[in-house]
Structure 1
Amino acid sequence: MLTIFLAPLLLINIGVVSAPWLLFTLYIISGVGMAGIGMGIMHDAIHGSYSKNKRVNKYLGYTMNLIGANATVWKIQHNILHHTYTNVEGMDDDINAPFFLRFSPHAKKNKLHQFQHLYVWFFYGLSTLSWVTVKDFIRLSRYKKMGFLNKKNEFRNEIIKVIGWKLLYYSYALIIPLLMVSLAPWMIVLAFLSMHFVTGLLISIIFQVAHIMPNTQFPLPNKDGVVEGDGFTHQLATTTNFSPKSRFFSWLIGGLNYQIEHHLLPNICHVHYKKISGIVADTAKEYGIPYHTKKTFAAAIMDHIRILRKLGKMQPLPIQSGSNF
């Protein structure tokens, strides 16, 4: 995945590309590699499950920074908030959407949402571009207010790191190509945007179809601010697997088609999820706990479209309604 990401950019940066079709092809291939790094390398590394060696995990986690994002922000947003408060309105950043998208039955509704199942794909495609441009700064500021990054100079130092890594990323992904490629600047920018559109679409679909589905629940905290129940049943109730029989697909997306196993055992490398899944499914059945899975990725996407359409039409559920959707 690192090669798929870096090799096309290297060819672009040394100025050997002169045909528009080749420029777009290389950037799009690089976008696939960028998504692969996000799903198959940095994801395990930041969870501490890529290797038994902490140093290996630390440095491979920096591949997140290499593709323009930030490992520290991801660790808070994903490892802490998403994994602890999966599908909990206001706490899980994966369902905290801008005003034109609605990912929870408890979120506010507006007239635009009735069409979100049609236009959401465009915004999925823009997600990583927003991420590597402004979202990390917004999240850093918000996480500081939430009580994270509160050690002496920790917030300031992280801001400096974010700026430095983003300058590096934009330098080799866009600035140097603008200087080296003998094509119109607007065409190079458009090809760069196409790379991010591919990456954003791939990553967003994979992560969102695992949780925003008709059969998953959207729990709420009780009056004391506590999400009731135990963490394991919570993950089973809010997570869905898909396409469990495709080895190639599982390799391509870093084992994230086994989202249930990942959420139950995030400290285990994704290469073991397939073998673990049978044990998890049997145990869930034994204790009468739901184990959600879709046979194919296409079936998962269709169900994701259905829930987006339903969320676009239904009125918000009252806060006191409990945890079920």
Structure 2
Amino acid sequence: MTTMTATEVTHGPLRSTMRASERSEEDRRADFRVVAKAVRDAGLLERTVGFYAGLMVILGVALVGLLVGSFLLGDSWFQLLIAGALGIVLTQIAFIAHEASHRQVLKSGPANDRLGRILAAGVVGISHQWWMTKHSRHHANPNQIGRDPDIEIDTISFLPSDAKKARGLQRWVTRHQGWLFFPLLTFEGANLHVRSIITLLERRPVVGRWIELSLIAVRFAVLITFLLWVMPPLMALAFLGVQLAVFGIGMGASFAPNHKGMPTVGRDAKLDFFTKQVRTSRNVRGFGMTALLGGLNYQIEHHLFPNMARPHLRKASDIVRAHCATHGIVYTETDLVGAYGAVVAYLNRVGLAARDPFDCPMLDKRR
């Protein structure tokens, strides 16, 4: 279990009317029912189709505007500014695809799936089905060892047991992974595309395999053809590099603050739904965070009510926070800087497990 950083605020024990340890198992099981009723009574599970329609129009206009701007610029290295802006817009579109996969946008499940597939595969270039499968497992078991795919070893190790296995260059990366976290995110955009395609080509049943492969292929063919049409090949390659780097940072920096550095759960641990979702999640407070992070700043509420539309999350957080304060349940929120600081510190602590057993920490400090 990890501890909260100094910049994080935990609501509950200091202002509670009942100590968390004094609550019975029945009381804990009732937490979600009580909060869910208050949320339903407040109408916070209603769809906000108008909000998403307006947002998609704005992003669509921005996307077309960037393509027109790129065409007018032609052979100019200012194209890299447009590439960066395109990475930001695609990140925002990916947020809507994520919300559609949670059935937050439209009223029917199939309609949400169609929208999510078109936005994810056809516009962003990522497999909707791959994301759905992976992300559903994460929501069911956030930060649970052996069950949450988001804490499985990748370039970065999220658990000391995985960090100990690192060898060679991977060991060096793991030892410094906290400080390398944001630089490594520049490769995350390319990683998301590659993983999507690999998943779609696996020898197992994949829903919508050929539809998504076709959408992704057409998307990349159109983008690359357009770039080669309006600029020299070297500049087109640089354009793609910048766009992918900004997209990777945008995606990784939006999802990382949600759970990294929060308590982990043993593989066989049995927790009630409310406790598991609240204790393993972190909210990010601050002006403009909902727009910047696509609603992921209300991670606690998103995990409790994954089909809740983005505009309702703020009001839901008031209800959940008040319930946690009343019953002594830890409710963690911090600002964006504090969240990133907690993530970097946690990854560095995990990375210590990859230290050479013959290293002397005191000598390392003097080097």
User: Which range, TM-score by smaller chain?
Assistant: 0.7 to 0.9
2: distance between equivalents of 1:90 and 1:163? 30
Instruction: Say if 2:288 is the partner of 1:230.
Output: no
CA deviations 1:204-228 (Å, max 9, x no partner) are 0110111102xx1111222xxxx41
Q: Give the match for residue 60 of structure 2.
A: 2
Instruction: Say if 2:189 is the partner of 1:189.
Output: no
- Shift of the alpha carbon at 1:92? 1.7
1: distance between equivalents of 2:179 and 2:267? 31
Instruction: Say if 2:213 is the partner of 1:163.
Output: yes
The letter for the 1-side match of 2:258 is: A
Q: Give the match for residue 131 of structure 2.
A: 74
* TM-score computed with the length of structure 2 as normaliser: 0.73
Q: CA RMSD in A?
A: 2.2
- Aligned partner of 1:285 among 301, 317, 325: 325
1: distance between equivalents of 2:237 and 2:330? 46
Q: Which runs of 5+ in 2 are unaligned?
A: 1-58, 356-367
Q: Give the match for residue 189 of structure 2.
A: 128
Q: Give the match for residue 152 of structure 1.
A: none
Instruction: Say if 2:254 is the partner of 1:202.
Output: no
2: distance between equivalents of 1:6 and 1:19? 19
> Residues 235 and 106 of structure 1: is their aligned pair in 2 closer, same or farther, counting only changes over 3 Å?
farther
Q: Secondary structure at 2:333's aligned position in 1? A: strand
Q: Secondary structure at 1:209's aligned position in 2? A: helix
- Shift of the alpha carbon at 1:288? 2.1
* TM-score computed with the length of structure 1 as normaliser: 0.82
1:283-322 to 2 correspondence within 5 Å?
283-294=323-334, 296-314=335-353
Does structure 2 retain, via aligned residues, the 8 Å contact 1:86–1:92?
yes
Q: Give the match for residue 362 of structure 2.
A: none
Q: Give the match for residue 138 of structure 1.
A: 198
Does structure 2 retain, via aligned residues, the 8 Å contact 1:5–1:31?
no
State the identity as a percent.
24
Does structure 2 retain, via aligned residues, the 8 Å contact 1:241–1:257?
yes
- Aligned partner of 2:291 among 228, 251, 272: 251
Q: Secondary structure at 1:221's aligned position in 2? A: coil
CA deviations 1:125-149 (Å, max 9, x no partner) are 21121211x20143457794xxxx4
> Residues 43 and 35 of structure 1: is their aligned pair in 2 closer, same or farther, counting only changes over 3 Å?
same
- Shift of the alpha carbon at 1:3? 3.0
- Shift of the alpha carbon at 1:167? 1.1
Q: Which runs of 5+ in 1 are unaligned?
A: 150-154, 317-325
2: distance between equivalents of 1:286 and 1:105? 35
1: distance between equivalents of 2:160 and 2:201? 27
1: distance between equivalents of 2:226 and 2:72? 13
1: distance between equivalents of 2:80 and 2:354? 43
The letter for the 2-side match of 1:286 is: T
